[in-house]
Chains A and B, each alone.
Chain A
Amino acid sequence: MDFVTQLLLAAITAGTPLLLATLGGILTERAGIIQLGAEGLMLMGAVTTCLVFIRSGNLALALLAAAAVTALLGMVHAFLSVTLRANQTMCGLAMTLFGSGLSAYLGKAVSGNPLPGILPRIPLEFLEPIPVIGAIFGRLDLLTWLSFLLVIALHLLIHRTSWGLHLRAVGDSPATADVMGIRVHLIRYGYVTAGAMLIGLAGADMVLTVAPTWNEGLTAGRGWIAVGLVIFARWNPVRALLCAYFFGALDSLGFRMQLLGSAIPPYFLKMIPYVVTILVLMYLGYRDRGKPSGTPESLGVPYVREHRF
């Protein structure tokens, strides 16, 4: 494999957790609920995967457990922000702090233990002859393919189905949606839960591919980068794919430059994704000043029927 192919593969590997988490964030925020708990949800997804996988040895069970646990946490988030109408910023922050504390507590038992297996790869050798990208296809794992499918599925869901229309209506103008007979609270619960599950899977993917053992706080802010990517991708799944791989490439670039014997200390290379996140968001803010940013119009506003002030 040449350098370009290697970098692409590394970008996809490092970008898949970001992509899954960003998609989860998009689903949640399209329904009008701010999702700032991504970091905590990813950690909970990761630790659940590790615990179940190491105890049972069954990967499918581990992924299911991760999805179930994060779905439960998603429902807690939905209960707080939809039913109780609490401050969604603080809810997300609580989710992150609780998730990192609980995952550190639960994960202590398996900290540093290697996982009994890896994600199965889907071999597609017949694609090998295609130049540059052919070699990549044989090396992608199950969750990566799932993330591809999800991008297409979510794009179609949001932009081409009546369900997507309902979702966007709930996020943009819940009062109108309510008048149309759409059950706003039910839809918000559903998408917050589904979004949390995807973010949990992102954590599972992180621990299964990028870092093969559990370590306290192993997501290292990637949940927050995903929160930024949701804005960067303007709540659009296809754009999310490109953005996530761009950041995946940045993430692995530092590591690669270190291997190539770069003179820059590794700590500065590791800062790149964080600094670029800020710079990109600043650029977007500058470029889109005074223009609609694609933000769901009722993002962060709890919907209360008969609210009239």
Chain B
Amino acid sequence: MSRQKAGAETLLKPVISPVSAGKSRAWRLEFDAIRVRSPWWTPVLSVLLALLLCAGFIAVNGMNPWTVYAKMWNGAFGTGYGLTETLVKAIPLLLCGLGIAVAYRISVWNIGAEGQLTAGAIAATAVTIYFPEIPAVWSIPLMLVLGVAAGAFWGLLTAIPRIYFGVNELITSLMLNYVALLALDYFVIGPWKDPEGFNMPGSPMFAASLSLPTLGGTRLHIGLLFALVAVLIYYLMIRFTRWGYELRMIGANPVAARYNGIPITRHILLVMVISGGLAGLAGMVEVSGVSHKLMQGISPGYGYTAIIVAWLAKLNPLGLIVSAVLFGGLIVGGYSVQTIGLPSSVSEMLQGAILFFLIAGDMITRFRVRRRSA
């Protein structure tokens, strides 16, 4: 009964009413199917709501959420040291997040940034192990090239099954994460183990000449500039080139794009190579700029956090920088609450919750309360 009523009404309107509509109420909820973009404040509200939800979990654990959040904020942004650490963590997040944003623009769900980063780190370390003799002028560019190439190759391994065999890239890219991490285990425990490392897993420390230059005596390294330049290039490419236009077109309507002769498979291949290459670059700058050796846990899940970074930024270049810094702060803040006896996984929990609210928020804001006319 009520079904038919709703049906007849919406025939003439572009808006679509949910199932609950049609009952004799003075107002109803309508879903706006046309407006795809959600308002600018959804990311902000999502972060706040996630903080609120996780406050509940922290309170259950018998801690005062306010103290915990204050501690996290202080640890991440309160001191000069904290701020540099936050920026150091933001570098790989920005690079991986940028790679993910490029892929997600055309709905290629690459979740393999973690593995691509690891592949880049392994390749960069290989230079220090097998070519210790060559001068730094050559070895750092070589590390860069090999790191990017290894990440790109790892991305290619995801793209090829997708294009030629129709395998869902989510599964492939995630499986390859585990493969890359196991390969890392093999190298740091097996052939590349530091003979003077007291039997601890990890490669020997890089020679000082193989480290990336730092900025002004802090731990902040030149990788920050790489990341910012990459974001700028992304912005210019998306905005002003034919390639960027085609990507935007595939993202908006893949069917229309195909009818217009845009080679979608070639774009998928290229996008995965870029995505992997950027993550590989992140891996290279991590080993060469921060840890100065290859070891287990060089990435505390940067590849996964970067997914949320990209989604929070709505794949927007400027947004990427803001959200990378925010999540860098979240990771550093997570470490700083360990001193008051909380696990650092507080920050992981927060990250997941932010993504949840973000997805829900993007859709909820498309529902409108409408007065019933007639």
Contact = CB atoms under 8 A, between A and B. Distances in A.
Nearest to B363: A84
B167 A265 contact: no
B200 interface: no
Given A224-B171, A281-B167, A305-B3, A86 B360 contact: yes
Contacts of A76: 356
A87 B356 CA distance: 11
Interface stretch (A88-96, A126-134, A150-158, A169-177): A88-96
A97 B111 CA distance: 11
Contact of B349 (A98, A228, A282): A98
A102 B352 contact: yes
Contacts of B346: 105
A180 interface: no
Interface string B295-326: 00000000010011001000000000000000
Interface string B150-170: 000000000001001111101
A97 B3 contact: no
Given A84-B363, A84-B364, A98-B352, A221 B190 contact: no
A282 B165 contact: yes
B175 A97 contact: no
A253 to B, nearest CB: 15
Interface in A89-129: 89-91, 93-95, 97-102, 104-106, 108
Contacts of B270: none
A297 to B, nearest CB: 16
A74 B227 CA distance: 38
B27 interface: no
Given A271-B178, A275-B175, A277-B171, A86 B355 contact: no
B57 interface: yes
Contacts, number: 151
Is the contact region of chain A dominated by helix, strand, or loop, or is it mixed? helix
Contacts of B165: 281-282, 285-286, 289
Contacts of B174: 221, 224
Contact of B348 (A91, A94, A100, A305): A100
A16 to B, nearest CB: 21
B7 A306 contact: yes
A106 B352 CA distance: 14
B52 interface: no
B194 interface: no
Residue of B7, B167, B311, B363 ringed by the most chain A CB atoms within 10 A:
B167
A111 to B, nearest CB: 9
Given A285-B167, A306-B10, A265 B186 contact: yes
B182 interface: yes
Contacts of A91: 359
B161 A282 contact: yes
B207 interface: no
Contacts of A278: 161, 167, 171-172, 175-176
A141 interface: no
Contact of B175 (A85, A100, A277): A277
A97 B358 CA distance: 13
A256 interface: no
A-B complex: 4 closest residue pairs judged by Cβ atoms: A98-B352, A101-B348, A285-B165, A104-B345
24 contacts: A80-B363, A83-B18, A87-B359, A90-B359, A94-B359, A95-B356, A97-B308, A97-B352, A98-B355, A100-B348, A101-B347, A101-B351, A104-B343, A105-B349, A108-B343, A185-B19, A221-B174, A228-B175, A268-B186, A275-B175, A275-B179, A285-B164, A285-B166, A307-B16
Given A231-B171, A271-B183, 8 more contacts: A85-B363, A90-B311, A106-B57, A225-B175, A228-B171, A267-B186, A268-B182, A285-B161
